[in-house]
Amino acid sequence: MTGRPRPPDGRPGRYGVHETWETDGSTVGGYRLVRSLGRGGFGEVFLGEAGDGSRAAVKVLHASWAGDAEMRRRFAAEVEQARRVSGFCIAAILDADPGAEQPWIATEFIDGPTLQRAVAQDGPRRGAELQRLAVNTATALAAIHAAGVVHRDLKPENIMLAADGPRVIDFGIARAVEATSVTASGIIGTVGYMAPEQLEGARLTSAVDVFSWGAVMVHAATGREAFPGPTRASRIARVLSGEPDLDGVPEELLGTVRTCLDRDPRRRPDARTLVDHLITGAPLVAVPEPTVVDPGEGPLPPTLAYTAAAPAPAPVPYTPPPPGEAPPYHFAGVRYTRPGDLAAAMQEQWAQAAAVFEDPDARAALGTWITDDLRDTTVDRALFRTRRTDADLAVATFVAQTRPDLPPRFRGHDVSPDTLRSFFAAAPSAAPAEAGGLARPGILRQLSLHHGEAARGLAAPAAELEAAGRAAAAFGEELAEQLDGWKDGRHAAADPALLLAFVLDPGRVRRPAAPPGTAAAQWIDALWKRVDASEGAARAGCAAVVHSALPLIDGLVRRWEEPERRGAQREQELRTLRGDLAFYDKTATRLVWLGGTALACLVLAFVVLPGMTEGSGSGWAGFVGLCLMVGLLSPLFVLFAHIQARVRVGNGERRRRLRQRLRGLEEDQAALVRELHTMRADLEKARALAAAPPRR
């Protein structure tokens, strides 16, 4: 890969320092990078142009990811796996180099709008058009799943409406990235199209894509989300416990969509069954829960990458033991007969204890031992009967309820107000790895239930952190809803470690530094108005949002500067091209005029004037000679003008390419203008939003 990477400014992003490639003269593989199509936390997508003029969407991983050996291995496996997907309903992979200095992948460039844009501009799909969309996208999912890939982010923005039919895009590196340690605590997807198990952080299967397909069909048929709500939190709550809004979905598709949106993944059909149902009307029956092959663990088998799970064995009736003869519980290779001893061991061996609460069977076994075998009444029964998505919180709760006399500890660290301040003194850049897990109100609240002064001192930070978190979530949600550059909401989420650091030491709440007058300073000034208008915990929460958004602001600034620079270059090239083509068009007009003049003069000299001047003396002879001379010399001027035009503009094929290039440049220039307009509008909206009173 060649080009000029901009040097990072030293400020770490959410996942480290990122580089942004200048597209002027840069190439990736055999593709010249024309302009950026979008940028995310994992990489940037460019419009690439090959030597033959064909175009591709080229995704380049950020430099911070390129240095991760595990990420490279998974990316290489993912590319190999994605190549197996049939290309008839997806953006096919054209080329890739996982071993490059910055790994990249080039996919087919789809010339057409996204389903999101098409519905927004032209309204919902109807009739046969909706049916074709349903069949094609379901077929694409079947092909993707057959290659052992789970899309995990199917949504209207990831469906392109090409001239030859819909194509599913952006299924490439999501699984490889999600499997790395950096995003192990994050969730990949888009609220409104994510299955309940995605939102809960449970083990995922290809059934999540079937749920997303149902939500996409609702949007395509109605123009609305299947799980609408005024806020992000309300939409999540509706996915987890509410019912989809299917009003307006055509009757012939209604039952299919409702089945695909079932909260239980075991009751959803797989993609192949869905395709058969849509095409032939076959029964839409659920299949045993599929499991997807991990691309990082080795080559795919020649068969389908997911298989039916074996049916669970029939439950065995439980007979409680006689009093005083309760069986022991085994944990980390040791037998325990008293819950207090077990709690002390779990506090010391926290990771193994968390594994118990993460596993449904192990959690149920522990609950049976506590509640049925020992008849213990000190531990909340919901700890074992409710699906746990936060194993650390479960361990902290179990230890606090069983052994409150123990000193508060979290993952091997003693916790007190003083140790908290020490932990988060350098957050987020140098805080311990456990800091992110500890910086949660629920954890601190459970640790505050232990006996002793140190534990009691944790109650106030827990309450303040909860209040700061609410203020940060409200501010981040406003940004995500109103600013185009913050749409997915992830960039507006406050870093938990930074949030607690500001709560513990309000004196650290300071405006981030930026050179005066720069675009970065304008963004920070705009957002900091909300911080200045807030007090106490709310001030800490809003400040954490601004500091956490610095990588996004840096990216917005670079994207702002890039179109301005590229726009000036494009304008110069456009002027040159327009001048050359205008010269040719004028020359062609002159050629027609000169040719007509030559023909008229020759007709006058040899046909009209001799008959008119016969017997008139020599008075007309000079005029006849002049017409003859003009008629004979005009072809010479025609030849000269033609040669001049050929030298400057070239032959017909080159002129055709120049006109094609001109159209492409004009489209790019229009896109740059729209991009700049959106960015400037975002900044103005940010100023107004931050200056307005916060939501209550």
Catalytic machinery residues: 153
Within a 10 A sphere around the Cβ of 584, how many other Cβ atoms?
19
Q: How far apart are CA 315 and CA 50, in angstroms?
A: 62
Burial of residue 437 (CB within 10 Å: 0-12, 13-18, 19+) is: buried
Q: How far apart are CA 160 and CA 558, in angstroms?
A: 27
Closest CA to 551 of 45, 9, 168, 179: 9
Q: How far apart are CA 396 and CA 388, in angstroms?
A: 13
Q: How far apart are CA 8 and CA 551, in angstroms?
A: 11
Residues contacting residue 556 through CB under 8 Å, at least 6 positions apart = 485, 519, 523, 679, 682
- Maximum distance among all alpha carbons in the chain? 147
CA 35 to chain centre: 18
What stretches of 62-172 adopt beta strand conformation (E)? 93-97, 104-108, 159-162, 165-168
Q: What is the separation, in whole angstroms, between the first and last Cα of the chain?
A: 50
Q: State the SS3 of 461-476.
A: HHHHHHHHHHHHHHHH
Q: How far apart are CA 8 and CA 256, in angstroms?
A: 50
DSSP-assigned beta bridge partners for residue 409 = 414
Residue in this structure with the two tokens 């449970």, named with its chain if needed? 202
**SS3 of 304, please?**
coil
Distances (CA, A) of 157 to 189, 208, 300, 532, 603: 12, 17, 29, 36, 67
Burial of residue 169 (CB within 10 Å: 0-12, 13-18, 19+) is: buried
Element (H, E) at 209: helix 207-222
Q: What number of CA atoms fall less than 13 Å from residue 642's CA on the CB side?
A: 13
Contacts by residues 397-401 (CB-CB < 8 Å, ≥ 24 positions apart)? 397/446, 398/343, 398/346, 398/353, 398/357, 399/343, 399/344, 399/346, 399/347, 399/446, 400/446, 400/447, 400/449, 400/450, 401/449
Name the DSSP letter for residue 370: I
Residues contacting residue 289 through CB under 8 Å, at least 6 positions apart = 205, 207, 265, 266, 308, 309
Asked whether the beta carbons of 226 and 246 are under 8 A apart, the reply is yes
Q: How far apart are CA 567 and CA 138, in angstroms?
A: 40
Closest CA to 562 of 105, 110, 26: 26
Q: How far apart are CA 45 and CA 157, in angstroms?
A: 15
Q: How far apart are CA 516 and CA 522, in angstroms?
A: 8
Residue in this structure with the two tokens 């989300």, named with its chain if needed? 225
**H runs (alpha helix) in 283-379:** 339-348, 350-358, 360-368
Helices (H) and strands (E) in the chain, counts: 27, 13
Within a 10 A sphere around the Cβ of 343, how many other Cβ atoms?
23
Tokens of 186: 């994050």
Asked whether the beta carbons of 594 and 638 are under 8 A apart, the reply is yes
Asked whether the beta carbons of 21 and 3 are under 8 A apart, the reply is yes
Q: How far apart are CA 404 and CA 125, in angstroms?
A: 60
Q: Determine if residue 59 is labeled as part of a ligand binding site.
A: yes
Residue in this structure with the two tokens 């819950």, named with its chain if needed? 339
Name the DSSP letter for residue 266: G
Annotated binding site for ATP: 59
Annotated binding site: 59
